[in-house]
Structures are given as C-alpha cells and as structure tokens.
A and B are shown apart, each in its own frame.
Chain A
C-alpha cells in the first residue's frame, strides 16, 4: 500500500514542524496490523484508507482538497496509541483533522488530550457510550450506535423472535461476556431491561483471552436459557460457538455483538457457526456501488490498494472501514460548506461532524444505500443513528435477517446522561448548552 507520504513530510515530522502543501487535509491513521486483533485492524483501516484513496483518484479529493494520511502502528496498546496520536497530531497544514483509533482503550486515553488539542475523535460503535451526550463530550463522537443502544436493539430483536415484547416475561437470557472493560459495559443496561421486560439475566464472565470456556458452557447448559448473548472479542468467539455445539446449545439462539460478528469470528468455528446470529450496523458484501467504485478506481488494472488480501474486500471489517471513510468525508464536506473549500482545522471539523446529516438521498448518491443507515448528529446527540441490523451466518456468508431495528432511547438516554453527568462531576466540567433535539 502506498501511504503517499513524501520523505519531505517524514522529515517535517522529525523536525516537529508542520510545513507541507496547503491544499491537503491530513488524517492520522492509528492502525494496528500485528497482534491478536490484527484481523480487525487490517480490514478496518484498509476500508477507511481505500475509500479516501478512491476519493482522491476519482474526484481529486474533497472540494479540491486532497486527502493525505499517515499510518502509525498502535499494536492495539493504549500507550502506543497515545504515542501515535502525539506523533501525528501536528502534521499537515492544519494538523490532524479527526482521529478514529478502533480501540475502546485508546479512545478513553485520547478523550482528554483530543479535547484539549481540539481534535475530534470518532469512535464508531466502540469507546465511551456516555460520550453520546455531546454537552459533556464536545469532541467525542460515538457515531452510528454505541454499545448501550445496540444492546436495547438486541433485546428488541429477541422480543420480535419471541413474538412480542410481552412474551419476554419469564424468559431466561445469559450474557456471556469478555472479562474486560469492553465486555462489562452492557451489564447495567441489561439489568435495567430485565426489570422492564421481566426476563431473567445471568452474567457469566469469560476471562481474557477466552480460549477456554468449558465450565461456562456447562453452567449455561444447566441454566437452559432461551437466549445467549455473546459479548466476545477475538478468539473468544469461535471458541464459544464450538463449546456451544459440544454442549448441544442451538446456535440460532446465540446473538452476538458486532465485535463477534465478522467473518474472522465464525470461519474458525467451521460447522459449529452455522445459524449463529450477530448484530451489525452494516452488512457484508461487494455489491454496493461504493465498494465497486473502490475496486474500480483503486484496485483495477493491477494497482495496489491498502488491502493485501483482496478477498477480504466487502467483508465486515472492510465495509466498516468504508463507512468510517464515508462519515469522515461527509463531515469534511459539511464543514467545507461553512468554512470554504480549504484544509480544515480540528475545530472546524468538529462543527462538521456535529452538523452531519446523511439522508437516504445522499446515501444513494454515495452508493451506500443499505450499507449504512441515515444519520443525523447534533450538539445534544453525538450518536446520530442508533439502529442495528441482524445477520445470520449460513456457513458461507452473513445473511441479513432483519430490517433496521431502532434502539430504545427512552432507556438508553437517561443512563447516558447520568453517566456523563458523573464524569462531568468527577472532572469538574461545566456541560455546554445545547438546543434540544
């Protein structure tokens, strides 16, 4: 892959100066391509970079401003992520525009730094759920859906399968979660839902990394739950599916989070994964015009894009990266409409994200209809979407089996505001005023 970084730019980095051409918009890429989560990092950043690359080649950038970027290897470690952020934040004519680290841990470490540096952070489907409250977190955007929203949609989906939310009364659900900050995050919201709908929930922890789940699944077998929610990560996912097969638990009764729903999560489990259901905020597939455009402009004619393995184009992580690219590019467009067609600062970019609006019509123009949901971000709501689709693994590929299922904001929003208010109090921050809605 070509990062298109000239030696001069690298030298500028070493000198710590920000001298570069002026009609360029710099985006730091805090990617990870080694270590246990490399599958996610290579796919996501492959899609993200290929989309921006496609815009450069097809349209000459956005509004005449060329996109530039540089990758920095974080190894999915918080300290390396902070180092990469600090290394890249001053690059380009206007500094780093927007950061998307694809790691909950790194997102947490960057919240304060980025807010102080006035660089927006997009944590699409990960990171701090309560950052959806834009009054307390002006520079953090957990766009599309956060963990809590997604979880309410999951219970709605289970309710639909059972034939109505009232049928959830008395049902038994097991929450099998990864023993980490990420895994624990949905426990309070599940408890709140179990009170509201009258089902019982048992939380069972799988210690990191999760390649040993015999006892947990024996426990599940004795509970005989109606549904199992799989909140896994990495190697924990195929292991869970295989263990479920061993104890004879039906895979079409297991509902995974989107970090459990990529091709890499089910392929190693082989037959045991057939019928398994996972949440997603986008489908797999190369049939979307935007993916075709990438293939045409970036890869056609033997040219090299960011993906080493072209077979992974159109898979979950790649398409997620493309969506990240679309959100970034659309936010730049939005900000350009206010500030003019020139490289933007992080502060201007923040305005662009906060006023981002992507409707069905725009999605069609982008060639991303059905790939992502319409979005509307506001000062009050930094999430902007909130709906989830469910997909089922048929042994070969993911099949979408539901329409967009909206989250239950009446349940999520108060929790978010409460948690954000606690953060503000701990940090002695004064929340901004936002017009409601």
Chain B
C-alpha cells in the first residue's frame, strides 16, 4: 500500500524517463537529502560528523567508482586503493606546486590524473578477462604504492613519505570544522552519485552493461569494446581519485602511501559485493555495512560487556563481523540493495499479498 502506483500517470516522455519514476521514491530521496544536508549538521556532534559520516561518505564514493567498473562493466579490479592514492597525491602536488590553485579544481584534476593512470592500467582489459584481469589490476595496486613510496618528489621529499594536506579554502571560506568538511564531502558525493545514476542510463552506460552481460554479443551489435572498457576504467578511476583526495583532505589530514594498501582495495570490493553489484544504492549500503558495523560492534561491546577481557573482545568483534558477512551473503547473494528492492516489491502488495 505504500508503493501503490495507482494514479501516477506519465503524460510526457520526460516524466516517463526521470531518474526516480515512482513518486514515493522521489519523496524518499528528497527526504534523505534534506536530512543529510539540513538536519544532520544541526544535531550531530563532531564525533559523528568527523569520524563516522565523513569516512562513510568517502568510501561510498570509492565503492561507487569500483561499482562502475565491476558492477556495470563487469571488469574485476583490485586496484581501487591504488587509484585513490593517485588522487590523494595528485591533489597534494597540484595544491603545493601551482600557486593559488582552487581546491575544487585540484580535486577535479586529481580525479583526471587518476583517470589517466586508470586508462593505462585498463589497457590489459582489452585482452584479458575475469580473474586474470583482477591479477593485472593487482599490479596497478602494487606499482602505484611502490612509485609513491620510492620517489620522494611525490611527497615533497618528506623523510617518511607522508603528505600533510593543506587547508581547504573555497572562495575565502576555510573548511576547518567537522561540519564544514562534512557538508563539502556530502556535496561532492551527492553530485557524483547523481552523475553516476544518470551515467548508467546514457548510451555509455548501456554500452557498459552490454559488455558486462556478453562482450561478444556487444561487439557484434557494433559496440566498440576497447573504447567502452577504457571509458569505464577512466570514469571509475576518476571517482576513486576524488575519493582518495577527499580521504586525505577532508578526513585524515595526513596520509602515506600505506594508507592505500591492498587491504583498502579489498575493503571497497567487499562493499560492492555486500551492498549490491551494479547499483548506486549498493555502494552506500555496502559502505555503511563495512565502515559502520565494526565501529558499532566496538562501541556496543564496551557498553554492554564492560568487564570482559579486551583481547577477547577485539577478536570477537572480527568473528561477529565475519559471521554477519556470511549471513547476509547467504540470505541474499545479490547484496543489500537487492534486499531493499525485494522489500519495496513486498510493500507494494502489502497488506494483501497474493
């Protein structure tokens, strides 16, 4: 009864083709955005904004980037963290070496740099597929980390190879509080999520999905496979690059190449697997699951079992976390986004299912 579509008539092509064709969805998304932009900054404290929501949003953006490549185009990649590192170090160097560089331009250029590197490492995808491609992108991960560690120029010859992000300033306003950084991150992530949602509905997006579903058939119908795959690598790496730059600037403040190890790549990959491959919503749900759940377990463990040995507790958290991953994948292999969709379909019929 909540999702009853009766009475929603589409009288124009524009109405028929909008991103969220169902009115209830539109209301819901508008509500989420109003809460995220208007209510949360007023009610949340620094801990929630600075330590939970910002990293959640940034990793959701990285997951979105990987989802474009793996979810929409079907190219398995393990280089996500490498491309994030490129973004972070590129933003740092643009800010450092170009006088008067505006922050947003530096972020965009960081994304473009990551996109170029992504295309280079995407070249093997023209010839190899599946798990073999995953191994090729693994090379990207290790190579980028090695280059950034090996050559001091990238970190401005810091003896330990750590970059300290410069202050964020846009049009004279200094983003130095948790609230302002949260709003900045949220703005960028919301805009890019909208772009991704739209991108999937364009010709490019349909090409991606055609290649994912069967590349031979796609080629036969006249789709330029090389171009399609490389565009996917470029767009995906752009998203990851921006996420990496935000990770350095809006969240940690100081990063070393080791902040973007293979572990991070796997973390982002797990996000899209658990959240739902090939959906925008899945990136956010997966990021919430992977980022927030361990913290919730840690807080909960301390709150409810204050006397228990912390050694045991820390290990138990990992066990419970792993158990929940298995549980959710067993219940719904297509991820949390699919659960959400099933829920919506059920709500459409509720309370009178067939």
Taking CB atoms, residues of chain A closer than 8 Å to B302 are 3, 5, 10, 70-72
Using CB atoms, name the residue of chain B closest to A185.
B160
Chain A, interface SS category: helix
- In the bound complex, what is the Cα–Cα distance between A105 and B166 (angstroms)? 18
Complex CA distance for A6 and B311, rounded to whole angstroms: 19
Majority SS at the chain B contact face: helix
Check if A108 is an interface residue, CB within 8 A of chain B: yes
- Shortest C-beta distance, A429 to chain B (Å), equals 11
Convert B127-153 into 0s and 1s, putting 1 for each residue whose CB lies closer than 8 angstroms to a CB of A.
000000000000000000010011000
The answer for the CA separation of A306 and B46 in the assembled complex, in Å, is 31
Which residues in B have their C-beta under 8 angstroms from that of A85? Answer: 51
Residues in B with CB closer than 8 Å to A109 are 252-255
Is there a chain A Cβ closer than 8 Å to B162's Cβ? yes
A185 to B149, CA, bound (A): 11
In the complex, chain B residues 250-272 whose Cβ is within 8 Å of any chain A Cβ: 251-259, 261
Give CA–CA (A3, B317) in the complex, Å. 17
Chain A min CB distance to B252 (Å): 5
Query: A181 and B160: CB pair below 8 A?
Result: yes
Asked, given contacts A33-B310, A184-B160, whether A14 binds B303 with beta carbons under 8 Å apart, the answer is yes
Q: Which residues of A contact B162 (CB under 8 A)?
A: 108, 181
Give the chain A neighbours of B254 by CB distance below 8 A: 108-109, 111-112
A300 CB-CB contact with B under 8 Å: no
**Which chain A positions have C-beta within 8 A of B304?**
7, 10
Contacts of A13 in B (CB 8 A): 299, 303
Q: Is the CB of A87 within 8 A of B47?
A: yes
Counting chain B CB atoms within 10 Å of each CB, the highest count among A4, A87, A182, A428 belongs to A87
Tell whether A10 pairs with B306 under 8 Å between CB atoms, given A86-B46, A112-B254.
Answer: yes
Max chain A CB contacts within 10 Å: which of B45, B302, B313, B318?
Answer: B302
Residues B160 and A34 in contact, CB atoms below 8 Å apart:
no
Q: How far is the CB of B12 from chain A (nearest CB, A)?
A: 47
For the complex formed, measure the closest distance between the CB of B260 and the CB atoms of chain A, giving whole angstroms.
10
Instruction: Decide if A181 touches B256 in the complex (CB within 8 Å).
Output: yes
The residues of B that contact A86 with a CB separation of less than 8 Å are 46-47, 50-51
Q: B295 near A: Cβ within 8 Å?
A: yes
Chain B CB within 8 A of A180 CB:
yes
Bound CA–CA A308/B312 (angstroms): 9
B293 at the interface (CB under 8 A from A): no
B160 and A423 within 8 A (CB): no
The answer on a CB contact under 8 Å between B96 and A3 is: no
Query: Could you tell me if A308 and B160 are in contact, using CB atoms closer than 8 angstroms?
Result: no
Contact (Cβ within 8 A) B47 A90 = yes
Nearest 4 pairs of A and B residues by beta carbon: A86-B51, A10-B303, A181-B160, A33-B314
